[in-house]
Structure 1
Amino acid sequence: MPTSSSEPSHADNAGSRRADSESVMATIRAQQARGRGARRALAAGLVLLVAAIIGWMVWPESAPTRWRTETVGRGDMQLTATATGSLEPKSEVSVGAEISGLVQQVLVDENDPVSIGQVLARFDTDELEVALEQAEAQLAVAEASVDEAAATVDEAAADERRQTLLRQRGTAAQADLDAAVAARKRAQAQLALSRASVRQARATVSQARTRLEKAVITSPINGVVLKRAIGPGTTVAASFQTPELFLLAEDLSAMELHVSMDEADVGLVHPDQSASFTVDAWPGRAFPAKVLKVHLYPTVENNVVTYNTVLSVDNTDGLLSSPEPPMASTRR
């Protein structure tokens, strides 16, 4: 029997070569891609390495730890109590007016020193002087009426003596004697009334003179003027209460510090205790003080309980003197 054999055709050979070529190209592209990834990783690694080297070079070296030893000491523990308050003069005197009228002159101003009896202000005295003259005239009239009444008494007494003598001789009626006695008694009563009028007129004169004297306002103390509430031309009315014209401080070399001590700290404070305080006018400077007293009655404000504490302050150098004492913060 005859046999037959087959050989690959030309078309099959061409397809096989294309497939092999594509496979080779795919392999080359894959190798190129892996090469690019490796180069990128290598570049990134080099950048990190350079950054690490630079950081290590510029990073400051940590200072070595040093230890210091101290000897343990012993001492007393000091407890402090802090409060705020205000400086006030030790003694203040309010000078008012007991009369109404027009202020004519004011001779002092705030911060001026004053002495006892020094004139501070004067009122217009025209009406007061007229009132004094009228009172003196009424006194003169009353004194003249006394003289007249005394003469009438002498006359009535003499007539009574004559009527008594005539009655004893029987030449006068009893009615004439009774009339003489009554006239003498009326004259004596009139004399007593005139003398009372004199005393009343003298009182009126004294009152008018006193009002005239009160038109001049003088200082009752040696001190300094803290506040002046009037000026020339001011009309003062003293009908219901005495108006305040001046506020004087007796001695600013010794002042008082009034602070509100919290109830939690008041137990730490007692009289004769030393303290120190500061004021806004002199920052960074502490002034000495001494506790005078702690008020037993508390003050409650906004549910906060405080106790008023008074401290004495030496202000001989005058640094703390001012018309309105500064706020102060004290520490025991």
Structure 2
Amino acid sequence: MKRVFFLALLCMLAATVRAGELPPFEGLIEPRETVNFGSQVPGILEKVMVERGEKVEVGQILARLKSGVEAAALRTAEAKVDFGQRKSQRNEELTKKKLISMHEKDEIETELQLARLMVAEAKAQLEMRVIRSTIKGVVVKRTGAPGGYVGEEPFLTVAQIDPLSVELVIPVQYIGSIKEGVTAKVLPDEPVGGEYSAKVVIVDKVIDAASGTFGVRLELSNPQFRLPAGMKCRVFF
């Protein structure tokens, strides 16, 4: 009975709040995503192409590992393909004239296929020594430098700040008052200031019992990267 009464009380509170105006809420402007970049394979950094604070695009090369051995393996595999193709062409006429057996022809074609597979594998090995960004954002941390040894441990961090996420922690009395899709005004603290429009994209369905709160996330467009992440703000619904 107590549980039923508590749920009924929450519903009444929500209805009351919806009928009036919500107060402003304190929030935090955060990156949409933060990605730490290491290397799939261990090795020595040959070059790091970006600096802290630099904007990067999806697919942009962030760093390269030394890859002399892998590059040589690719050249060798490509040479084998070239040789196999020439050999196949030379033997085409011999096959038509039945001067070589079908078994020999099959061996030549198989050797060529294997050489092409070696090229594909060598390219994959070479590509694994190139670190590319998986998001559009800004470099927020760089610890690697040319000549340094790297592995799976991150040496670059990129943050996506378009769009930004505005995180709110709302008292449980306002449950049901904020719904996904509604817009709100976001006022960053000084010295940034200004007023921006954001849309609610997540309303937590689970209440934190210890604090009596639930989380809300808004999406804030930031195409010119003018707004920095990490700032406090006020949000008005």
Normalised to the residue count of structure 2, the TM-score between the two structures is 0.67
Structure 1: gaps spanning 5 or more residues: 1-76, 159-183
Aligned AA (1:304): S
1:216-295 to 2 correspondences below 5 Å: 216-219=130-133, 223-237=137-151, 245-249=156-160, 251=162, 254-270=163-179, 271-279=181-189, 282=190, 287-295=195-203
1:84-233 to 2 correspondences below 5 Å: 84-90=26-32, 97-115=39-57, 118-140=60-82, 142-143=84-85, 146=88, 157=98, 187-219=101-133, 223-233=137-147
After superposition, the Cα gap between the structure-2 partners of 1:194 and 1:234, relative to the gap in structure 1 and judged at 3 Å, is: same
User: 3-state SS of the aligned residue for 1:297?
Assistant: coil
206, 211, 214: which one aligns with 1:298: 206
User: Matches of 1:286 and 1:219 in 2, distance apart?
Assistant: 31
> How far 1:331 sits from its partner (Å)?
4.8
Tell me if the contact between 2:45 and 2:66 (Cα under 8 Å) persists in the aligned partners. Answer: yes
Q: Which of 1 and 2 has higher RCO (CA within 8 Å, sep 6+)?
A: 2
1:136-157 CA-partner distances (Å, limit 9, x unpaired): 34435544664687687567x4
CA RMSD of aligned residues (A): 3.9
Bigger Rg, structure 1 or 2: 1
Q: How many residues align?
A: 218
Q: Which has the higher helix share?
A: 1
Q: Which has the higher strand share?
A: 2
User: 3-state SS of the aligned residue for 1:268?
Assistant: coil
User: 3-state SS of the aligned residue for 1:227?
Assistant: strand
Normalised to the residue count of structure 1, the TM-score between the two structures is 0.51
Aligned AA (2:169): S
Aligned AA (2:44): L
After superposition, the Cα gap between the structure-2 partners of 1:132 and 1:262, relative to the gap in structure 1 and judged at 3 Å, is: same
Q: Which piece of structure 1 moves more, 192-201 or 110-119?
A: 110-119
After superposition, the Cα gap between the structure-2 partners of 1:317 and 1:112, relative to the gap in structure 1 and judged at 3 Å, is: closer
Q: Percent identity, aligned pairs only? A: 21
After superposition, the Cα gap between the structure-2 partners of 1:277 and 1:125, relative to the gap in structure 1 and judged at 3 Å, is: same
